[in-house]
Amino acid sequence: MEARTLAVVGARARIAVGIAGLAAPRMAARIMGGRDGADGLTPLFVRMTGARDIVLGLGTVVALDRGAPVRGWLEGSAMADAADGLVSILGRDKLTPWALTATVAVATGSAIVGPLLGKRLDPPPPPDPGHLEAVATGHHPVTDA
């Protein structure tokens, strides 16, 4: 798969996970931490990480849409995911076994793939206008250059 396509697919997956965290933080917290996961401040932190993932995903897609530098977005996303993986390992007693395994696997994959994609997409490829995310955030290909 082409590096640009892989970056867009990863960014869209990140956006989807972020939307799920914002829309249903208690359910996401329950999936991650079991019955007690939806208590206290946990849903707030699920929303915070959901918002972060939406921003990182949108930044990546908009940069590719515009032909702008994308390496920083991909490396920043990889670092955020690596931190999530480390924090999950440190707090493994609070996570369900499934959530721990899934989080560490995704974090590890992102920590490896993100910087590699960033290098392959540096310098940035030419603009690829028309991505729905870019248009929805006001980046219209006809008026922006």
pLDDT digits (tens, 9 = 90+) for 101-121: 999 999 999 999 999 999 999
Phi/psi-derived region of residue 67, left when phi > 0, alpha when psi is between -120 and 50, beta in every other case: left
> What distance separates the 2 farthest-apart alpha carbons in the chain?
52
Q: Which tens digits make up the pLDDT trace of 88-101?
A: 999 999 999 999 99
Torsion, CA 144, CA 114, CA 29, CA 39, rounded to 10: -90
Residue 139: CB atoms within 10 Å: 19
**Cα(57)–Cα(18) distance, rounded to whole angstroms?**
9
